[in-house]
Amino acid sequence: MSRSNQMFKATVNVALSHVARMVPGADLGSEATLARDWQASRTTVRNVLTHLAGAGVILWEGRCKRLLRVPVASDYFPQTDVESTEDQAEQRFLEWMMRCELPPGSVLHESDLSRQLSLSVGVVRALLQRFQPMGLFEKNPNKHWVLHGFTRRFAAEMFAMRRLIETDAISAVLGAAQGSVVMQEMAHMERLHIALLARDDPAMAEFPALDSQFHRCICRAADNRFFDEFSQRISVIVHYHYQWNKRDEVARNRAALHEHLAVIRAVLEGRKEDARQAFAAHLDTARATLMASVSW
Amino acid sequence: MSRSNQMFKATVNVALSHVARMVPGADLGSEATLARDWQASRTTVRNVLTHLAGAGVILWEGRCKRLLRVPVASDYFPQTDVESTEDQAEQRFLEWMMRCELPPGSVLHESDLSRQLSLSVGVVRALLQRFQPMGLFEKNPNKHWVLHGFTRRFAAEMFAMRRLIETDAISAVLGAAQGSVVMQEMAHMERLHIALLARDDPAMAEFPALDSQFHRCICRAADNRFFDEFSQRISVIVHYHYQWNKRDEVARNRAALHEHLAVIRAVLEGRKEDARQAFAAHLDTARATLMASVSW
DNA sequence: AAAATGTATTTTATCCATAAAAGACCAAAT
DNA sequence: ATTTGGTCTTTTATGGATAAAATACATTTT
């Protein structure tokens, strides 16, 4: 079979929310402009226009593209059709990884997984390959995969690496000048942290994203792609891990926010030694929290 | 088309050099034993036995498997048929990467590359994906790849990471007890280094492998999969890079060997501060050498 | 001439068919 | 009872076919 038309459907939805802000009768502009605005190729734009004309949302004749009626909910494709297949795949795959009860050392078959996750074998293979270098899986040539999994050891090694990198990165942060991009980002992070603490949301749904943002922001100061890459990897892993280990979640997250804030404020006020110590302390509690939540 | 029978051919060659050490008339043993010895499945072993029987090398009837004649050169499959396709692909790909004259930012098409390297599109994609996280390439969804390439900046960032990791690892080395595995490996490295220096091979063909072995050996002491992984990545990149930048090769390599030896001896003799300093000095010269050889 | 559209070509994503290789099962032999 | 070999099933590797999406080129309109 051929590739999916997820791009087409997604662009239809983008187009609909775009024209929803216009009044009937207004002109949509040129195809090239639309392609830029909707982030798609002209080919896709033209397919979308054909679709919208067929649905009676617009009138399209040559260079005349006019809005006929404001779109309604039923014009849109459902959200599930629109999400990029890659993202969906990664999500399903990592969720499976984190909830899976298999002991380390279990053998995995691509075909098996592909059935369980309803993903094509090719996609499963790409995911396994992607997470292989981290040591979550191993592969014997011509043979099956072996699950190493998210073990205590994995967590410990990951954290050793994190400490190394982020301790180096925090020095870069402290070396940044007042008013530099890094400092602006830190000031922004302070506002976000205060806002989240004030919200007093019992679920703290936005904590994981903010946590990841905080650590990435620090790593970025080192201006090293390898730091960034590692930081991203950690975020993904930790995120999915905590999704299935919600014990003491709220208390844990509030404590982390306060620790972040202590670091941010010390940085902003130029108290370098305080910043270093606060950050080291944060890494310690983060490590302890993570290790306590790993079962194997 | 179907998959290649590289495994079969490779196993035939393994089998031939196995029976070459036996006298005609000797029994080969059970299929299961052969499968273990030849590192293949019983299915493949049986195919190989059929092939060898057809070539008149052995007599095979039920459980009687007897060597008829000592194999000759023409019984073997040529070396190129036997190398794993993955290795060949990686080799061709990285060689292309390192010699390629394209400036950073060039667009790459999978189909183009697949033609240039005579590899299937799937293999090319897998390679691009594999080296993507290192930042050698980037991909826009639904679009082409962009070459970032092995730039000065890439080299600098890679080396910053290397320094961070290996400085940490050398502490682990120095913490190892006398007679521990790490120390045994260091003693072994000393012998290898002395041997290579004594050989006085003007080409120093074996230097890259030994260099990589030295650094990996140090990384392994930290007992962290992320260190190992990074170390391996560096080895691959540096290896292919220097293959196409052979200026001052011999002098450069001899100097490096001596620097390695200084580190190894300080470690073996327990002079910890000396070891640290010698290692830091080696990283400095290695960095300078690498940076001097990058063009973009 | 510049910009927009119409048309054709190229490239990517995805599934399928096929043969190799691995693995499972059972009967026969020691 | 354990090992060995014969047979069958499952899984993996690999290229090809096909439609989506991107891109290049030609034509028309302003």
Report the distance separating Cα B83 and Cα B85, nearest Å.
6
Give all domains of chain A, ordered by start, each with its CATH number: 6-80 (1.10.10.10), 85-147 (1.10.10.10), 152-292 (1.20.120.530)
Residue A93: CB atoms within 10 Å: 21
Per-residue confidence band for A296, with pLDDT thresholds at 50, 70 and 90 = low
User: How far is the C-alpha of A142 from the C-alpha of B225, rounded, in Å?
Assistant: 24
Angle in degrees, CA B257, B262, B266, rounded to 5: 145
Three-state DSSP state, A6: helix
Q: Kind and range of the H or E element at A107?
A: strand A107-108
Residue ranges of chain B whose CB lies within 8 Å of a chain A CB: 7, 84, 86, 126, 129-130, 133-135, 141-142, 154, 157-158, 160-161, 164-165, 168, 222-227, 229-230
| Residues of chain A contacting B, Cβ within 8 Å | 7, 84, 86, 126, 129-130, 133-135, 141-142, 154, 157-158, 160-161, 164-165, 168, 222-227, 229-230
Closest Cα of chain B to A191: distance in Å? 31
- pLDDT value, residue A159: 92
Q: Is the CB of B82 under 7 A from strand C?
A: no
Name residue A197's amino acid: L
Q: What angle do CA B65, B70, B74 make, to 5 degrees?
A: 110
Q: Which run of H or E residues covers position B209?
A: helix B207-221
Among all strands, which nt has the closest C1' to A108 (CA)?
D11
Q: What is the pLDDT of residue B202?
A: 60
Residue A270: C-alpha distances to residues A58, A153, A265, A275, B120 (Å): 58, 36, 8, 8, 56
Closest residue by Cα to the C1' atom of nucleotide D13? B3
- Bridge partners for A146 per DSSP: A107, A138
State residue B296's pLDDT score. 66
Residue numbers in B near A136 (CB within 8 A): none
Q: List chain D nucleotides near protein: any atom < 7 Å from a Cβ.
A: 3-8, 10-24, 29-30
Distance CA B123, CA A98 (A): 29
pLDDT digits (tens, 9 = 90+) for A222-280: 999 899 888 888 887 887 777 777 677 788 888 899 999 999 999 999 999 999 999 99
Q: β-strands B107-108, B145-147: how paired?
A: antiparallel
Residues of chain B with pLDDT under 50: none
CB contact under 8 A, B157 and A133: no
| pLDDT (0 to 100) of residue A125 | 80
Distance CA A10, CA B245 (A): 47
Chain A residues near residue B164 by CB distance under 8 angstroms = 164-165, 168
Q: Cα–Cα distance between B256 and A176 in angstroms, integer?
A: 35
Mean pLDDT across chain A: 87
Instruction: Give the strand pairing for A58-61 and A64-67.
Output: antiparallel
Q: What CA–CA distance (Å, rounded) separates B258 from B194?
A: 9
Q: Among the listed ranges A42-56, A100-114, A147-161, A236-250, which one has the minimum average pLDDT value?
A: A236-250
Q: Which residues of A143-179 are buried (b: 16+ CB within 10 A; e: fewer)?
A: eebebbbbbebbbbbbbbbbbbbbebbbebbbebeee
CA angle A133, B156, A282 (to 5 degrees): 60
pLDDT at A18 over 80: yes
Question: Whole-angstrom Cα distance, residue B31 to residue B63?
Answer: 9
CA distance B137 to B143: 13
Which residue among B135, B222, B225 places its CB closest to the CB of A225?
Answer: B135
Query: What pLDDT does A203 receive?
Result: 61
Q: What is the pLDDT of residue A190?
A: 94
Q: What is the DSSP string of chain A?
A: -----HHHHHHHHHHHHHHTTS-TT-B---HHHHHHHHTS-HHHHHHHHHHHHHTTSEEEETTEEEE-S---GGGSPPHHHHS-HHHHHHHHHHHHHHH--PPTT-EE-HHHHHHHTT--HHHHHHHHHHHTTTTSEEE-TTS-EEE--S-HHHHHHHHHHHHHHHHHHHHHHHHSPTTSHHHHHHHHHHHHHHHHHHHT-TT-TTHHHHHHHHHHHHHHHT--HHHHHHHHHHHHHHHHHHHT--TTHHHHHHHHHHHHHHHHHHHHTT-HHHHHHHHHHHHHHHHHHHHHT---
pLDDT of residue A202: 60
Question: Band of the pLDDT at A219, cuts 50, 70, 90?
Answer: very high
Which of A82-91, A151-160, B36-45, B277-286 is least confident? A82-91
pLDDT value of position A94: 79
Q: How far, in Å, CA of B223 to CA of B218, rounded?
A: 10
> A94-140: per-residue pLDDT in tens?
778 777 777 777 888 888 888 788 777 778 888 888 778 777 888 87
- The whole-number pLDDT of residue B72 equals 92
Instruction: Please provide residue B108's backbone torsions phi and psi, each rounded to the nearest 5 degrees.
Output: -120, 135
Q: Which residue of B has its CA nearest to A165?
A: B164
